[in-house]
Amino acid sequence: MPKYYEFKVAGYYLYFTSFCIIECMHVHASDRKLTETGSAKFFVKENGDTVLQNKGLLNEREIKKIQSFIKKNYQE
């Protein structure tokens, strides 16, 4: 089951899946509807760095803010 943050980061809700059997740990940044349409997807490396798989509707500033948040909180 994905973990959801109840607050927004850079205007997006974040939820992550760390125990997916198909993919490694990843974070979705989604709009208020929590749909995949327009959402971004970040794969999280062992050290908290991320690889952006899908940019969605996010701009570079929003991506950097979310990457920074993930780096600071990926071990929760």
* Per-block mean pLDDT, blocks of 10 residues, the chain (76 long): 73 80 82 74 94 94 96 85
CB 44 within 8 Å of CB 27: yes
Name the residue type at position 36.
Answer: E
How many domains does the chain contain in total?
1
Per the structure, the complete domain to which residue 15 belongs is given by 3-73
How far, CA to CA in Å, does 70 sit from each of 18, 27, 76?
13, 8, 10
Sheet holding 26-30, edge to edge: 3-9, 12-17, 26-30, 40-44, 50-54
Record the pTM: 0.82
